[in-house]
Amino acid sequence: MGSEAEIVRKPRFLCLHGFRTSGAILKKQIETKWPQSVLEKIDLVYPDAPFPAEGKSDVEGIFDPPYYEWFQFNKEFTIYTNFDECLAYIEDIMIKQGPFDGLLGFSQGAILSAGLPGLQAKGVALTKVAKIKFLIIIGGAKFRSESVAEKAYSPPIQCPSIHFLGDTDFLKPHGLKLLESFVDPVVIHHPKGHTIPRFDDKGLETMLSFLERIQKMLTEKQENELHCKEGALEA
């Protein structure tokens, strides 16, 4: 058991920030609002998106620049610009700073995070990295581009996921629609709007239960891999 105990590690998440914000802003939001009892159970990495903001940020005056965006879109959100470049950029980060077990996303980052496992399963994104196993989605929605959406959500996404839905979030109807594309999603409702929420007692219990479940899955996977290696060495 000694060697097995040593290899157990926390689930590692690549964290994708919101539109025209930054990795540093998302880090500050999460680390000031989430308790240590949650943060100590996961490893979080906060990159900046590839493109400098091409317009005004909603967080100007609240958080300092610079601000970044993952990709651009038309006013109907149906045509994307630099989307393939964005996917390649995320894959490059996952190669250089990985391995990662899951994705955490907020707003534009949540839309990306929720859609990437399906795109990966179809072989159109993240083909050079390990399968995304877990998702934490905050203020999410579905891709509105038909060509992207048809690949992202069919068949339904199987990986364990937890979704934060704010009662006054303008994206809440879209977040509810997103849930239909997941198998057994876990949901935390909160009274706030489009933001990283704090936990109430029920939400914290739900989050800790989810983290315990994915840690167990990860530990079992690591132990199985170790046994396979030991078996191969003995053979």
User: Tens of pLDDT along 9-18?
Assistant: 899 999 999 9
Domain boundaries, the chain: 12-234
pLDDT score at 224: 80
* pLDDT tens digits for range 181-235: 999 999 999 999 999 999 999 999 999 999 999 999 999 988 887 767 666 666 5
Q: Which stretches of the chain drop beneath a pLDDT of 50?
A: 1-5
pTM across the whole model = 0.93
Instruction: For residue 69, give both structure tokens.
Output: 């965006």
Cα-Cα end-to-end distance for the chain? 21
Cβ neighbour number for residue 5 with a 10 Å cutoff: 9
The token duo for 73 is 């879109």
Is residue 49 a contact partner of residue 69, using CB atoms and an 8 Å limit? yes
What pLDDT is attached to residue 197? Answer: 97
Both tokens assigned to 65: 């620049």
The answer to whether 120 touches 131, Cβ cutoff 8 Å, is: yes
- Sign of the Cα pseudo-torsion (190, 15, 73, 120, in order): negative
12-234 CATH pick, 3.40.50.1100, 1.20.1250.20, 3.40.50.1820, 3.30.365.10: 3.40.50.1820
The 3-state DSSP class for residue 45 equals strand
The predicted structure's pLDDT at residue 221: 82
